[in-house]
């Protein structure tokens, strides 16, 4: 069966569905063995539990494990409850080790105890060890599906040991060279072993300079290493430099997607959750809980805006035209601050900048925002001077003069919003927090308040009204 993490092909689903409706079970199973496991898993997930179990039993154990690995976590748990423990244990032993550990952690303590006696010794030890690591670390996402050889072996002996270890085909590109205590000495590729003379020693082709992850290293850092060095997999070492597992590029892609989703949710003021599911599969109340905290908190802080407007009620009563441009002031500040914050957060996430570079970052954003402020101020002035109603002005004041006042206030707001947007993520990072939590909603609320202060201060000083 072909292993594939691509999006399932619609034509494959249609073909499988046709065979299922026609009752051609044997042809259906043959198709299962030819198609990518993701296609087969997606097809089975829509079927009744008894059909899923019937289909699985017609496949060999290795294919059962691969398909099971691509099932959703919820379906995996349902199968655990539906199958007898011995049958489930046989499938469980063929599941990819990292997915196996995640599923084991999702079981209750009683269920874990029920399952363990049915597992073979290697699987039992493997799942207990992998389940001990926190899920956000390299140890929590690594798997044990890899091959090891010794430096004093010949190429022929090394290939023989690889066949014995029998790693899956997508984990066989890198072969890890260890000593008899599992201390990693380097790596070779399968190509190295095949292309060299069978009598050549592994030591002659050994690459001693390799990238690795520490077992307690943050999973996002591990994914970044895989992406940066374009690795198929990265070895995971413990404090004694012993090889304990590997993290594949497929897992790195999943991590990057999860982290991107988490950052996006934080940027939009949504509380991330470890047990998030698909949008439609997640309950409305769960969505409510994720959003309500930030929304209510920022709404409470937003009361300050009303207090500022009330404090400057006299200015608004004398110059109604100022009220017309308050939404523009708020929107411009919010957009500018969010842009600056997004750029800085992205650069921090990619490791392009550090909070120690704060002076350079603030200076750069000040220069950028100054250029932006000129454009926005010019546009604002032209709008007010030529498209506003003169009847909104008290006697003795020209539209050009009011235009200059509002344009200057908005120009100052653009610069201050950019500085605030850039500075807040840096401050949070400096304090050890996640910069994404102070993004869009928080910054918009803050720059709304500062914008109103700037707006009414400039108006009061220039118009002589308190």
For residues 340 and 421, is the Cβ–Cβ distance under 8 A?
yes
pLDDT averages per 10-residue partition of the chain, 466 residues? 51 77 82 85 88 89 90 91 92 89 89 89 86 88 88 93 77 87 92 92 93 92 89 92 90 79 61 58 73 74 82 80 86 89 82 86 94 94 79 73 91 94 88 72 84 89 75
For residues 438 and 428, is the Cβ–Cβ distance under 8 A?
yes
Three-state DSSP at 248 gives strand
Write down how long the chain is: 466
Q: Which of 30, 101, 83, 17 is nearest to 60 (CA)?
A: 30
For residues 150 and 177, is the Cβ–Cβ distance under 8 A?
yes
Sign of the CA dihedral running 192, 194, 196, 200 = positive
**Which positions ≥6 away from 105 have C-beta within 8 Å?**
131, 135
Q: CA angle, corner 167, sides to 151 and 111, nearest 5? A: 125
Three-state DSSP at 240 gives coil
Q: What residues pair up with 149 in beta bridges, in sequence order?
A: 177
Three-state DSSP at 99 gives helix
**Which positions ≥6 away from 82 have C-beta within 8 Å?**
49, 53
**Which positions ≥6 away from 386 have C-beta within 8 Å?**
none
Domains of the chain, earliest start first: 10-135 (1.25.60.10), 148-248 (3.10.580.10), 302-463 (1.10.357.20)
pLDDT of residue 243: 93
Q: Give the distance between the most distant pair of CA atoms in the chain.
A: 100
pLDDT of residue 5: 47
């Amino acid at each position: 069966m072909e292993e594939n993490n691509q999006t399932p092909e619609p034509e494959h689903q249609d073909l499988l569905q046709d065979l299922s409706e026609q009752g051609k079970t044997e042809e259906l199973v043959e198709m299962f063995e030819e198609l990518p496991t993701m296609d087969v898993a997606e097809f089975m997930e829509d079927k009744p539990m008894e059909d899923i179990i019937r289909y699985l039993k017609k496949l060999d154990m290795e294919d059962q494990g691969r398909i099971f690995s691509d099932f959703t976590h919820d379906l995996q748990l349902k199968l655990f409850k539906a199958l007898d423990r011995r049958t489930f244990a046989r499938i469980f032993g063929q599941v990819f080790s990292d997915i196996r550990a995640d599923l084991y952690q999702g079981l209750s303590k009683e269920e874990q105890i029920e399952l363990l006696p049915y597992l073979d010794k290697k699987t039992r030890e493997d799942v207990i060890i992998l389940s001990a690591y926190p899920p956000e670390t390299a140890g929590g996402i690594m798997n044990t599906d890899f091959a090891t050889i010794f430096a004093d072996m010949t190429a022929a002996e090394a290939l023989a040991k690889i066949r014995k270890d029998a790693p899956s085909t997508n984990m066989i590109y890198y072969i890890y060279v260890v000593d008899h205590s599992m201390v990693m000495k380097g790596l070779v590729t399968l190509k190295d072993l095949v292309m060299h003379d069978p009598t050549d020693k592994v030591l002659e082709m050994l690459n001693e300079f390799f990238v690795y992850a520490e077992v307690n290293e943050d999973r996002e850092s591990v994914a970044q290493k895989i992406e940066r060095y374009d690795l198929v997999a990265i070895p995971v070492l413990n404090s004694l430099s012993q090889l304990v597992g590997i993290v594949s590029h497929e897992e790195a892609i999943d991590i990057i997607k999860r982290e991107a989703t988490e950052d996006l949710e934080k940027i939009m003021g949504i509380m991330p959750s470890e047990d998030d599911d698909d949008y439609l599969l997640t309950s409305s109340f769960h969505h409510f809980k994720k959003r309500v905290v930030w929304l209510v908190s920022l709404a409470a802080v937003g009361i300050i805006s009303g207090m500022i407007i009330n404090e400057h009620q006299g200015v608004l009563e004398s110059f109604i035209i100022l009220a017309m441009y308050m939404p523009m002031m708020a929107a411009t500040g919010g957009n500018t601050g969010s842009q600056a914050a997004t750029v800085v957060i992205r650069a921090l996430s990619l490791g392009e900048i550090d909070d120690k570079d704060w002076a350079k970052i603030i200076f750069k954003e000040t220069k950028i925002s100054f250029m932006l402020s000129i454009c926005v101020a010019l546009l604002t002035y032209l709008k007010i001077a030529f498209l506003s109603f003169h009847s909104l002005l008290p006697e003795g004041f020209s539209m050009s003069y009011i235009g200059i006042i509002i344009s200057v206030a908005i120009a100052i707001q653009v610069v201050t919003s950019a500085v605030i947007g850039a500075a807040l993520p840096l401050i949070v990072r400096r304090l050890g927090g996640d910069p994404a939590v102070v993004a869009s909603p928080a910054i918009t609320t803050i720059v709304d308040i500062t914008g109103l202060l700037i707006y009414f201060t400039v108006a009061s000083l220039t118009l002589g009204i308190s």
